[in-house]
Amino acid sequence: MTEPQEPGDPAEPSVVELVSRLSEQISQLVREELRLALSELKQKGKQAGTGAGLVGAGVTIAVLGLSALVVAVTSALARVLPLWAAALVVGFAMLAVGGLLTFIGAGEIKSGMQSVSEHALARLAHDVETIKDSAKR
């Protein structure tokens, strides 16, 4: 067994040294948490970029297919309505669907980006609280 150390023993760190260590450890912890948060954001950014590229390619191809369908539907409606009225009906229907999809997509992007930063900030706040609680003891 080790013998209990007496106060003032040179092997026991002083209060100044302990406070200095605490300050260094807090700084290191904050830097590591920020590095982790930055790494997570970079990863999410790369993933979002890849997804955006694929969505862009898919949308381009879908627009070409949709153009063919628009011509077909407009031609079919032109049999019962004047051509200009058929084009208006199809155009307004497409604007409504496009607006709805844009609104839904923007909400998904916004909620996905918020969860990353909120998670990193919550972890950092938890670490700060843990350090404060430890300092009070």
On whether residue 4 sits in a domain, the answer given is no
Q: Which residues of 14-45 are buried (b: 16+ CB within 10 A; e: fewer)?
A: eeeeeeeeeeeeeeeeeeebeeebeeeeeeee
Residue 10 domain flag: no
Please, is 90 exposed, middle or buried when counting C-beta atoms within 10 Å of its C-beta (0-12, 13-18, 19+)? buried
Give the pLDDT of residue 74. Answer: 93
pLDDT score at 7: 56
Q: Is residue 103 part of a domain?
A: yes
Domain membership flag for residue 29:
yes
Q: Is 8 contained in some domain?
A: no
Predicted local distance difference test score (pLDDT) of residue 99:
92
Asked, for residue 7, whether it belongs to a domain, the answer is: no
- Give the number of domains in the chain: 1
Looking at residue 75, its amino acid is: S
Report yes or no on 2 lying in a domain. no
- Digit-coded pLDDT (tens) for 1-21: 455 555 556 678 888 888 888
What are the pLDDT digits (tens) for 26-39?
Answer: 888 888 888 888 88
Contact present, 57 and 64 (Cβ < 8 Å): no
Phi/psi for 4 (5° steps) reads: -65, 140
User: Whole domain around residue 110: which residue ranges?
Assistant: 15-136
Predicted structure pTM score: 0.42
Identify whether 32 is part of a domain.
Answer: yes
Provide block-wise average pLDDT over 10 residues at a time, the chain (137 residues).
55 84 87 87 84 89 90 94 92 91 86 68 79 73
Instruction: Kindly give, in sequence order, each residue whose CB lies less than 8 Å from that of residue 77, ignoring residues fewer than 6 positions away.
Output: 85, 86, 89, 90
